[in-house]
Amino acid sequence: MNLASIWKLPVIFLCENNQYAVTTSFKDTVAVENVSDRAVAYNMPGILVDGQDVMAMYEATVQAV
């Protein structure tokens, strides 16, 4: 994400939060509540979408493009 931001690359990152960071609980290893909150550190927009909702994913992807 850092290089994509620095080089202003036209990239869409889709990150699935399975609640684990390798073998440790996500909440015990990361200071933010949602993975999407990390985008602000790279001067990128970050949105939270229910990955089980196909239409919500489609609409978010269309908006990102």
More confident residue, 18 or 2: 2
More confident residue, 8 or 18: 8
Backbone angles phi, psi at 20, to 5 degrees: -130, 140
Q: pTM for this structure?
A: 0.73
Residue whose pair of structure tokens reads 């489609």 in the numeric block: 58
More confident residue, 52 or 33: 52
Length of the chain as a residue count: 65
SS3 37: helix
For residue 33, what are its two tokens?
A: 């509540």
Instruction: Please say if the pLDDT value at position 63 is more than 90.
Output: yes
Range of the domain at 25: 2-64
Tell me what the pLDDT averaged over the chain comes to.
90
Query: How many domains would you assign to the chain?
Result: 1
Q: What is the pLDDT of residues 11-38, one digit of tens each?
A: 999 988 887 777 788 778 888 888 899 9
